[in-house]
Amino acid sequence: MSTYDMNDPLLASPFDALRNELAHLDTPPGVEKELMQAFARQFPRKKRWYHMLANKNWAVAGSVASVAIAVMVIVLAPHLRAPGTKPFAGFDDDGAFIALESLERIEQEPAPQVVEAELPRTVLAQLGVPISPENAGGSVKAEMLVSGDGQPLAVRLTAIN
């Protein structure tokens, strides 16, 4: 119906009568609820892609897969190294190395090696560790990081006798 029809004087009186009749009518309770349910059945909501990922089954599968991958990495990691090589990282309570050369020099070294050695306690004084005159003549067990030509790069104290 166009606005022209609404302004038509011939249709104005029938529309007024229709409006008055509809104003007195009330729908029974529950009709709106039934209409909404029928509409929901006829036009169900489509699930979005992110609703599919929220399924508990996917959460359980993802956590089981994560645990399986973690176990495989832990179990297979020691077997993936070449025979005769030491691991790149490990648990070590011996402490950190004290650099004797610059960090750049240590990083540029192609094949550094760790060598166990016994050092005189007087070397500790050069590293800034206080020593007493009574035990200055003793020795200290240490691990030294040396370059391919035998130049010491860093030292780590392992035991003080």
What is the tens place of the pLDDT at every residue in 125-161?
787 777 888 887 888 888 888 998 888 888 888 876 5
What is the tens place of the pLDDT at every residue in 63-77?
999 999 998 888 877
Would you say the pTM of this structure is higher than 0.85?
no
Closest CA to 13 of 113, 116, 92, 21: 21
